[in-house]
């Protein structure tokens, strides 16, 4: 299977200081010099030659990278599907420049409590995220919220879902993964996620929940396809192997006469050797680093493949509903009890009817925990074609 996704780290800089993330404060990351846009655009051409379909521009906070619009315009003109997950705290100042350039625009948010947000992320940014969501909607974008559940925050996810329903956006809800010593979600937490997944505007990846419950990647029978399916590029123009989170090899990408050697580098023996061993190293035992598993589940066709497809169909349905609501002004969402807007009483019974609402709200580690699904309005069939 050729690589389908590139996780392009544009910068390691970030205006947040999340308690669970070391990307912006790691000494080796601080020293790194970001690439010029021409270098990145040459790499994009190489990714195109390799057959990559989806680009996930990430960081750090990707909106800090000053040439982001220029890079996005180039990526768009090459026909990539473009995903950008960001904090939502910097979006308002460049929203107009970004209109129409991002297929899958995601804002991280796992609490509706301003103080909890601040405690978690080190900045007072909650209102800015809400402003960003509203602004993106008013500009015709179809943004999503990424909410990552920890053993504590899972019990306060309902307010986030309610907020998403009121704003008319989709919530991508997933469990925290094992990185930076994060405590994983317990079985009861996963069950709660499965319960929340039934509500309107909520999308989970059923394959990943099952994988998580089954103990993650097993080195004797690895399910990880991190090297085969995903290309990871650092801000200073290196190919990282086998994945960002556990990379033990950094191969310099070279450029000559306006051409990047990234495609040749990916086919070279060092990368192919790494590819053959993906998911088998000691540190891969029990791995649930989500960033690589959505694409890993695209092959072979086993239960994870099927559950992954089921999740994409649900996501397609939710996105279609978001599109129709935005275009027609119709309200098709079955709101959670307690929502301000109860104008949907005519629709079929809400799955939460008769259930007490949980009090409080969540906090969340969201580092890198974002699915890289294209969010343009597409049918599942069109989506598969794009992949």
Residues that bind ligand SF4 (CB under 6 A): 14, 16-18, 21, 23-24, 59-61, 87, 217, 224, 226, 242-243, 245-246, 278-279, 281, 283-284, 287, 289, 292, 366-367
CA distance 204 to 312: 9
Distance of closest approach, residue 10 Cβ to ligand SF4, in angstroms: 11
CA distance 241 to 218: 19
Q: Which CB, 243 or 378, lies closer to ligand SF4? A: 243
Helix residue spans in 240-350 (DSSP H):
262-267, 269-276, 293-296, 303-328
Distance of closest approach, residue 129 Cβ to ligand SF4, in angstroms: 11
Q: Which CB, 106 or 314, lies closer to ligand SF4? A: 106
Closest among 145, 206, 215 to 178, alpha carbons compared = 215
CA distance 340 to 197: 21
Q: Which CB, 45 or 246, lies closer to ligand SF4? A: 246
Q: Which CB, 240 or 378, lies closer to ligand SF4? A: 240
Contacts of 42 (CB under 8 A, 6+ apart): 255, 258, 259, 260
Distance of closest approach, residue 243 Cβ to ligand SF4, in angstroms: 3
Distance of closest approach, residue 223 Cβ to ligand SF4, in angstroms: 8
CA-based diameter of the chain, in Å?
67
Residue 289: CB atoms within 10 Å: 20
Distance of closest approach, residue 382 Cβ to ligand SF4, in angstroms: 28
**Burial, 45: exposed, middle or buried (Cβ in 10 Å; 0-12, 13-18, 19+)?**
middle
Distance of closest approach, residue 56 Cβ to ligand SF4, in angstroms: 13
Judging by DSSP bridges, how do beta strands 170-175 and 202-203 pair with one another?
parallel
Distance of closest approach, residue 271 Cβ to ligand SF4, in angstroms: 13
For residue 117, give the H/E element and its range: helix 114-121
Q: Which CB, 179 or 206, lies closer to ligand SF4? A: 179
CA distance 146 to 366: 8
Q: Which CB, 87 or 373, lies closer to ligand SF4? A: 87
Q: Which CB, 86 or 322, lies closer to ligand SF4? A: 86
Contacts of 191 (CB under 8 A, 6+ apart): none
Distance of closest approach, residue 34 Cβ to ligand SF4, in angstroms: 14
Q: Which CB, 91 or 199, lies closer to ligand SF4? A: 91
Residue ranges of E strands in the chain? 5-9, 54-58, 81-86, 104-108, 144-149, 170-175, 202-203, 230-233, 238-241, 249-252, 255-256, 259-260
């Amino acid at each position: 299977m050729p690589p389908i996704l590139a996780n392009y780290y544009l910068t390691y800089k970030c205006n947040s200081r999340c308690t669970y993330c070391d990307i912006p404060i790691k000494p080796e990351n601080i020293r790194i010099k970001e690439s010029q846009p021409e270098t990145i655009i040459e790499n994009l051409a190489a990714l195109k030659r390799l057959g990559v379909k989806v680009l996930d521009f990430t960081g750090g906070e990707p909106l800090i990278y000053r040439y982001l619009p220029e890079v996005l315009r180039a990526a768009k003109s090459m026909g990539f599907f473009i995903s950008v997950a960001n904090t939502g705290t910097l979006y308002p100042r460049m929203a107009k420049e970004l209109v129409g350039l991002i297929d899958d625009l995601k804002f991280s948010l796992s609490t509706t409590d301003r103080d909890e947000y601040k405690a978690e992320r080190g900045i007072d940014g909650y209102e800015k995220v809400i402003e960003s969501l509203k602004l993106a909607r008013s500009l015709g974008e179809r943004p999503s919220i990424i909410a990552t559940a920890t053993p504590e925050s899972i019990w306060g996810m309902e307010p986030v879902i309610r907020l998403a329903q009121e704003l008319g956006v989709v919530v991508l809800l997933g469990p925290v993964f094992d990185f930076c010593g994060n405590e994983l979600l317990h079985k009861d937490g996963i069950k709660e996620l499965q319960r929340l997944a039934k509500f309107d505007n909520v999308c989970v990846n059923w394959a990943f929940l099952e994988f998580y419950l089954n103990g993650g990647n097993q080195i004797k029978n690895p399910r990880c396809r991190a090297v085969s399916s995903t290309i990871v590029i650092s801000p200073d123009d290196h190919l990282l192997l086998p994945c960002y989170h556990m990379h033990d090899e950094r191969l310099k990408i070279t450029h000559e006469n306006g051409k990047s050697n990234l495609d040749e580098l990916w086919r070279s023996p060092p990368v192919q050797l790494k590819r053959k061993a993906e998911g088998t190293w000691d540190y891969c035992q029990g791995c649930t680093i989500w960033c690589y598993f959505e694409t890993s589940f695209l092959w072979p066709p086993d239960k994870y493949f099927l559950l992954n497809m089921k999740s994409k169909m649900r996501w397609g349905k939710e996105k279609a509903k978001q599109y129709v609501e935005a275009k027609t002004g119709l309200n098709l969402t079955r709101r959670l009890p307690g929502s301000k807007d109860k104008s949907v009483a005519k629709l079929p019974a809400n799955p939460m009817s008769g259930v007490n609402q949980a009090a409080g709200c969540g906090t969340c580690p969201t580092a890198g925990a974002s699915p890289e699904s294209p969010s343009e309005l597409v049918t599942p069939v069109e989506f598969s074609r794009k992949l």
